[in-house]
Structure 1
Amino acid sequence: MNPKAQSIVSYLGIFWLVAYFAGKDQRDDLSRYHLKQGLGLFITGILFNIAVTIVNAISSSLGMIVGLVGIVFLVFLIMGIINAVNEEKKPLPVIGKMFEDKFSFIDK
C-alpha cells in the first residue's frame, strides 16, 4: 500500500488497522502524520459515542440533541481525507493538535 493510500485509509475507522499493518514498510512522514490524526479521531469518536449513550440513558431527548453533534465527526473525517488526498499535513479542527505528538509507536 503506497503512503497516499495509507493516509486516506487511516481515517476510515477500523480500517486504520489495515493502513497501519499493510504499509508498515512503505510509511513516510505524511502517512505517519495521517495515521496519528486518524487514530485520534477514531478514539475521540468512540469516547464521544460512549458519552452520548450514557446521556441518552439518563435523558433521551437530551441524548438525541447531543447525538446530532456526532455529525461533526463525519465532517472531520471528510476533512482528514481531503487533506490526505491533497498530501497536506494539516491538523483536524479542535482535536488535531492533541494528536500530533501522541502515538509514538507509529513512528517506529
Structure 2
Amino acid sequence: MSTETNPTPAAPGIDGKTIAILSYFTWIGWIIAFVLYNSNKSQLAAYHLRQSLTLMILGILVYIVQIMLIFIPFLGWAVAVLLWIGLVVLWVLGLVAAINGQEKPAPVIGSLSQSIFSGIK
C-alpha cells in the first residue's frame, strides 16, 4: 500500500506590478510593498518604490509649505491648493504607470527619485 502525499501548492508570488501599485497607497502600503519586494525583487517594483517614496516625502514638504502659506490670505491659499493639485497629478501619473506596468517617470520628480533612492535595487 503506497501512500501518496499531495504537497500543498505554493502560494503564488506577488508580481512586481502588484508591488508597484501597492507602493502608491499611503506609508503603510509602501512599507508592505517594500517587505514584499524584498522577497520578490523586480525592476518595475523597485522603480515605483523609489518614485512613490519621493512623492510621499514631497507630500510632507508640501504640507510644511502649506502651513507657512496659510497665513497669507488668498494668494497663500491659492498656492497651497495648487501645490496639492500638482502632487495629486503626479501621484495619479505614477499610479497609472504602475497599473500599466510601465517604468514611466513622473514629470519633474521621476528621474530625481531614481537617482536619490538608487539604493532600492
CA distance in 1: counterparts of 2:26 and 2:58, whole angstroms: 11
Amino acid at match of 1:19: A
Greater gyration radius: 2
Which among 67, 78, 102 is matched to residue 65 of structure 1?
Answer: 78
Asked if 1:89 is matched to 2:115, the reply is: no
SS at match of 1:101: helix
Amino acid at match of 1:45: G
Contact 1:53 1:63 in 2 (8 A): no
Contact 1:83 1:89 in 2 (8 A): yes
Contact 1:13 1:38 in 2 (8 A): no
Which among 53, 58, 68 is matched to residue 44 of structure 1?
Answer: 58
Amino acid at match of 1:52: Q
CA distance in 2: counterparts of 1:41 and 1:106, whole angstroms: 15
**Structure with higher RCO (Cα < 8 A, 6+ apart):** 1
Which among 7, 20, 26 is matched to residue 13 of structure 1?
Answer: 26
Once the 2 structures are TM-superposed, how far is the Cα of residue 62 of structure 1 from its aligned partner? 2.4
| Matched residue, 2:44 | 30
User: Which one has the bigger helix percentage?
Assistant: 1
* Count of aligned residue pairs for this structure pair: 106
CA RMSD of aligned residues (A): 1.4
| Matched residue, 1:2 | 15
Amino acid at match of 2:81: L
Structure 1 unaligned spans of 5+: none
CA distance in 1: counterparts of 2:117 and 2:108, whole angstroms: 18
CA distance in 1: counterparts of 2:26 and 2:53, whole angstroms: 8
Using structure 2 for the length normalisation, give the TM-score. 0.79
Structure 2 unaligned spans of 5+: 1-13
Once the 2 structures are TM-superposed, how far is the Cα of residue 87 of structure 1 from its aligned partner? 1.1
Once the 2 structures are TM-superposed, how far is the Cα of residue 23 of structure 1 from its aligned partner? 3.0
User: Matched residues, percent identical?
Assistant: 33
